[in-house]
Every structure is written in C-alpha cells, then in structure tokens.
Amino acid sequence: MAMEKAASFLSSLLGGGGGEPAATVKSIFIYPIKSCRGLAVSQAPITSTGFRWDRQWVVVNAKGRAYTQRVEPKLALVQVELPPEAFAENWQPTPDDHLVIRAPGMDTLKIPLITEHTTIDDVSVWEWSGSAYDEGAEASEWFSTYFGKPSRLVRFKEASETRPTDPDYAQGYKIMFTDCFPFLIASQGSLDALNEILKEPVPMNRFRPNILVDGCHPYSEDLWKTIKINNLTFLGVKLCNRCKVPTINQEDGVPGTEPTETLQTFRSDQVLRPSHKNKRQVYFGQNLVCKESLSGEGKVIKVGDPVYVVQAFASSNEAPA
C-alpha cells in the first residue's frame, strides 16, 4: 500500500504519465523595477536574463546601493506600466513608448524606453557592482520626493555589464537586477495549503513569483528538476529561501510577522532539510533557469501553457537550497 501511494504521488508530480501535464501556467508576472509592484501579463518573451523587462530598473540611494522592500517597504506601492505590446515576440520600442510609474500622492512619471542615457558607476545590488544607465533628473526628483532622501532610477546596462548567477547552482546564466536567478515558479496549490493554516490568508503577491502554476499538489514545485513549458526547458536550480518581503502587505506596505512565522513550522530547513546547517531559513517556490536563454531570444510562454515535468528530485532534501 505504501509503495502504491508513493507511486501515485510520483505519478502526480510527473503529470500522470502518458504525456499529461503536471500543471498549467495560471499567471505570469513581470517586475520592471526591482521591489516595486508587478505586472500580470498574458505572455512573456524569454531573454538571456529572464523574462523581458523583468528587474531591468532599480532605485538606488546616493551611494548607488539598491533599494528593496526589506529596507523601503513603500516600494510595494509603486505601480509600473508598460505598453501592452511590449510583451509580444520581437517587439521593438519607439521614442513614444514609456515606462509609466505611479505612487500614492505623486504625479505620474513617464520614462522613455528609448532615450540617450548618461552612465553612472558604482551601482550595487547585493554582491554585484557595476555601471548603469541613469534615467535622469526628473526621475531622480520623483523618487527623492517619494522616499524623502536622495534617490535615482537606473537601468541595467547590458551593453557593458554582465551579472552572473551563482555558479554553484547555475553555471553560465545571467540576470539583471533580480536577487539571484532569472525565474521564480510557485504553485497555487502551495499558497492554498498555506492559507488553510494561516489565521489571515495572504495573496500570492507576497511571494512575487514570475510563473504561477495551478493543478498540482502543494509544494510539488520543490521537486521539479526539469520542466518544459511551450518547448522551453526550465531547470529547478534552488529552492527559494524567503527573506522579510513575504511579511510585507503589498497593498499598504505595512510589515508583519506572517506568513513567515507559520512557514517556520513546516517549511524550514529544520523540517525539510534536517541535515543542513541553516535551521532558520524558510522556503516557498523554486528558482529556475531556462536552457534556451543561452542560445537565443524571442520565444514566449503564455498563460494556459501546460507544464510537463521531465525529471524530478526524489525529495526536498535532495533539491538544492
């Protein structure tokens, strides 16, 4: 009986056999400015650094250090828009296309997607530092007013800068201003299971995934070593250990203690990976890289695409974290 249950569970992770999908893409999210509100889109092109437009911009302080919600939770209230056609395959912006930025109490800010830029040096995000394009005085004044201290909006300078992923987990891949890896996947089943035990349910925006899937068992994504979406191959390279951000209400920017406090009881290293050292980490979602991002751009994934599991880890303890 135990063997049958194990086989049944493994079958569900792999999609039930016979080429059946294990899940379906429910939503796709892009975060053009690091730590600001995300955009839900119907499709997203794959580039060499992740989804197009994802974390291409970041707000920095007077020393060039990146702001994140960990220190500036007001970033959660900054809304960003791009032209709807910006997510079409091979779309090229014109001088009339803008990144549109809004926040409570602020006038609308428009940043041209094509413009002459000056470059500033010593921009830093975690361990990386380099040069970036400065989006100018108007953007600087807007963000300085919003945060009440000198701030600038900068854009990743692909022409001269490369930010590699951690080679211990993903050799040869690169990112822009995201924390660590190009893609984050999470499942609706995982959120539903968490909300069943929380006193106050939380929405998925607390976890800021790029790809939200539905139709699989809770936390199945932990074990996805290789998956295919629209003939693109994604590799699960590291369980996503969560920082302070999931405790910040994305509607008002107010921090709390949940859901991390509850996740600590069943999604911590101590529970999932008892042989590992860091007992206080909690996990939700799986970081991915896309093999095709190394060889070309322009392919897209779409809401509604089936997700096929090609290879699975035997257990969460085996999955990299």
* Each residue's pLDDT tens digit, 237-250: 999 999 999 999 99
Which structure tokens are listed for 28? 């796709």
- How much of the chain, in percent, has pLDDT values that exceed 90? 84
Q: What is the pLDDT of residues 28-71, one digit of tens each?
A: 999 999 999 999 999 999 999 999 999 999 999 999 999 999 99
CA–CA separation, 56 and 38 (whole Å) = 13
Query: What pLDDT digit, counting tens, does each position of 232-288 carry?
Result: 999 999 999 999 999 999 999 999 999 999 999 999 988 888 877 766 799 999 999
Show the tokens assigned to 36. Answer: 């600001």
Write down the pLDDT at residue 7: 43
- Which residue matches tokens 């909300």? 195
> Quick check: 1 pLDDT over 50?
no
**pTM for this model (two decimals):** 0.93
Q: What is the mean pLDDT of residues 285-308?
A: 91
Q: Alpha-carbon distance 93 to 86, whole Å?
A: 7
Among the listed residues 104, 228, 233, 237, the one whose alpha carbon sits nearest the alpha carbon of residue 167? 237
Angstrom distance (rounded) from CA 38 to CA 207 = 11
- Residue 320, pLDDT score: 87
Peptide bond between residue 93 and the one before it cis (omega within 30 degrees of 0): no
Q: Which pLDDT does position 157 carry in this prediction?
A: 97
Residue-wise pLDDT for 99-123, tens only, equals: 999 999 999 999 999 988 899 999 9
3-state secondary structure of 316: coil
Residue 321 has a pLDDT of 84
DSSP E strand boundaries for the chain = 23-30, 39-41, 43-47, 50-51, 57-61, 79-81, 98-102, 109-112, 118-125, 128-134, 151-156, 163-164, 174-175, 183-187, 211-214, 224-229, 232-241, 283-290, 300-302, 306-312
